[in-house]
Amino acid sequence: MVKKILLLGSGELGKEFVIAAQRLGQNTVAVDSYAGAPAMQVADAFEVINMLDGDALDSVVARHQPDLIVPEIEAIRTERFYEYEKQGIQVVPSAKAANFTMDRRAIRDLAAKDLGIRTAKYLYAGSLEEMYAVVKEVGMPCVVKPLMSSSGKGQSVIKCEADIEKAWNIAGSKGRGDSGDVIVEAFVKFTSEITLLTVTQKNGPTLFCPPIGHVQERGDYQQSWQPAAISDADVKAAQEMAEMVTNELGGAGLWGVEFFICEDGVVFSELSPRPHDTGMVTLAGTQNFSEFELHCRAVLGLPIPEITLERVGASAVILAQSEGSHPCFEGLEKAAIYPKSDLRLFGKPTSREYRRMGVTLAYNSIGTDVFTCVDQAKEMAALIRVKNK
């Protein structure tokens, strides 16, 4: 049966989701705050609105009468989702999940206080004056994040008292939404970071993808690889934590659950109720279904019999160096010559410093050292330059 899917947020993750949905015969409407967003380029229809404007959001929902609403970003008036569910619209994964996970305060308190899951020590601050006191209590170094943001936007590290005001200003200027509060987290001494892609189904068990390792800079991922080499005990602990949180939030879909792997165990970090940027490594064919195909199947209620590792792989980001419009790319011919590789250019109409404009992908057979794929993906990305006309 053909469903109409309203995608709220139309970046590169949304673009791949739309492609997966269309391959299953679905109708898609892509929504974002600017025209020409990546998912709009492949969707059946699109809308340009401010999704923090609840009335504008209501208007789009009323006009298109979707069967499903699939959020892709944080900056949405998510409290409206409860009313949409009452109207019989399926919100992905659920209105509660979308509302909680778009706000770091809600999801962190749910994990740490309600479910007793291990997290970094954290406190909130609603003013610069309050932040000085909070940083003193949490201790330095610490990490400051806006309550609503993604891909590291507004995130910074405080190493000394002189960094506090700067971090407050960064969070205020680059966070999404209209909350001015921040979360201050104690720095976790970890050996690695992973994303555990978790799939909740309408009529089936919760499934887990092989863990994905990643490297971050400026709070945003730079490379990811699958599988990540962590112990069976740590994998099991992460799976148990992920299942606890996703069960509490409810609904069907794919979740990106982030963890710190420490010498003394696993620490919950964050959760996204949608495909995760580090999961773009699955576009290298590392699994029998990419994370976007899994998300689509789960939200449509199609059975997913199993998730299997098919090969090892890695992704590396292609970043812009400057601000501009009508970006084009140099070096594609040099990057494309690598064997067992692929790349994706997202089609974003503008660029800015450090904006993610594409990814390179490398893969090899199971048993191969995955870091040879990481090195290849990084080499390919370094050959591609973003230029503005």
**Catalytic residue numbers, as ranges:** 150, 152, 258, 270, 277-278, 356
Q: Cα torsion at 283, 284, 289, 292 (round to 10°)? A: -10
Please give the structure tokens belonging to residue 104: 């770091």
133 CB neighbour count, 10 Å cutoff: 12
Residue type, 180: G
Contact 145, 185 (CB under 8 A): yes
SS3 label, residue 28: strand
Residue whose C-alpha is closest to residue 281's, from 212, 338, 207: 212
Contact 317, 344 (CB under 8 A): no
Contact 209, 287 (CB under 8 A): yes
Element (H or E) spanning 27, and its range?
strand 27-32
* DSSP summary character for residue 132: H
Contact 152, 218 (CB under 8 A): yes
Q: What is the DSSP string of 305-372?
A: ----B-SEEEEEEEE--S-EESEEEE-HHHHHTSSSEEEEE---SEE-TT-EEEEEEEEE-TTS-HHH
Please give the structure tokens belonging to residue 65: 């009468």
Give the Cα separation of 172 and 186 in Å (integer).
20
Please give the structure tokens belonging to residue 333: 């011919």
Pairing of strands 350-351, 312-319: unpaired
Contact 202, 298 (CB under 8 A): yes
Crossing angle for the helix pair 163-174 and 128-138, nearest 10 degrees?
120
